[in-house]
Amino acid sequence: MGIPEALTTLLAEFPYAVYGSILVGVLCAVLGVLVVARRVVFFGAVLTQVSLLGIALTFIPPLDLLGHTGGALSVTALAALLLSGWLTDRRVPRDAVLGVVFVASVAVRMLVLQKAPQVEAAEVENLMRGDILFVTPGLFLFTLLLSAVAFALMALFARPFTFLAFDPETAEAQGYRTRRWDRAFYILTALVVAATTHLVGDLFVFGFLVVPPVAGMLLARRVRGIVTVAALMGLLCPVAGLVLAFILDVPATPAIVAVALVCLSGAWAVARLRR
């Protein structure tokens, strides 16, 4: 099967998979520029695991009333709220705090799933991996709405977010309440990660929070250039990955991330040649 034919089939059979993965790709890639710049990449990884814990908890009554999306969103938002306080505590290193939350999320999730009633292994596997191909219209619309809100907030708060990432001391001296803005950034990131992890899985979300921004940093000499490169990768890599997965009959998420990594390798080679 050729690429045009595969793409046509994908758009006809799984339109929300294509649109959803593009949406998540662009959103995570753009947000990821700030995540990488603030040196909180591990925070993104931890949030994906917390989000999975939130989904796992909804297998237990009465938390099942929240639904998988509600569980992921509420647990991740709560974790981000707590983490934003713990991460500014200087007695314990930031990565150690994140490490503890990471381990706790994975361990509790495994225990919960082991003991949860009426859980089938295949269902759990799909939820944890993110079943891109079977994204429902409702879930897609929810993510679209959340993406619009997230992009609007990123644009509205661009000044405090970038100032605090660049020079928090002076930002505070200028009257920005750094703790409050840090908390806002962490919660925004948490909500995006929670909603998108449920849609496309932890590997996709964490991959696109990191890989496109790093490629942008290798290729571009201006911040706008970095954001543009990251957004373009967020737009194109999911489509290319889905097509590849369809043609080669391999799982979609690893294929999408693999395409992003190939692009990153290309960016690295170009950066080396330029030097």
**C-alpha to C-alpha distance for 191 and 187, rounded to whole angstroms:** 6
Q: Which residues of 28-66 are buried (b: 16+ CB within 10 A; e: fewer)?
A: bbbbbbbbbbbebbbbbbbbbbbbbbbbbbbbeeebbeb
Binding residue for other proteins (CB under 8 A) from 6, 128, 184, 223? 223
Binding residue for other proteins (CB under 8 A) from 83, 165, 200, 205? 165
Position 101, amino acid: V
Provide φ and ψ at 177, rounded to 5°. Answer: -85, 100
SS3 2: coil
What tokens were used for 69? 């999306």
Q: Does 153 bind other proteins (CB under 8 A)?
A: no
Q: Does 38 bind other proteins (CB under 8 A)?
A: yes
Smallest separation, CB 115 to other proteins (Å): 41
In Å, how far are 19, 43, 108, 116, 211 from 62, measured between CA atoms? 33, 29, 17, 12, 38
In Å, how far are 3, 47, 186, 223 from 212, measured between CA atoms? 23, 18, 20, 13
Residue number, 142 or 176, with CB nearest to other proteins:
176
Residue number, 35 or 190, with CB nearest to other proteins:
35
Site string for other proteins, 171-210 (x = CB under 8 A): xxxxx-----------------------------------
Binding segment (CB under 8 A) for other proteins, from list 47-55, 152-160, 230-238, 261-269: 152-160
Smallest separation, CB 149 to other proteins (Å): 16
Question: Could you say which residues in the range 46-85 bind other proteins, by CB under 8 A?
Answer: none
What tokens were used for 36? 């990488």
User: Which residue is it, tokens 């939130």?
Assistant: 54
Binding segment (CB under 8 A) for other proteins, from list 35-43, 59-67, 94-102, 112-120: 35-43
Binding residue for other proteins (CB under 8 A) from 160, 207, 212, 238? 160
User: Which residue is it, tokens 């043609």?
Assistant: 247
Smallest separation, CB 99 to other proteins (Å): 22
Residue number, 64 or 172, with CB nearest to other proteins:
172
Residue number, 8 or 174, with CB nearest to other proteins:
174
**C-alpha to C-alpha distance for 251 and 257, rounded to whole angstroms:** 11
Residue number, 13 or 167, with CB nearest to other proteins:
167
What tokens were used for 159? 């000044």
Binding segment (CB under 8 A) for other proteins, from list 19-27, 155-163, 235-243, 262-270: 155-163
Residue number, 46 or 164, with CB nearest to other proteins:
164
Smallest separation, CB 154 to other proteins (Å): 12
Residues that bind other proteins (CB under 8 A): 33, 36-39, 156-157, 159-160, 162-163, 165-167, 169-175, 217, 220-223, 226
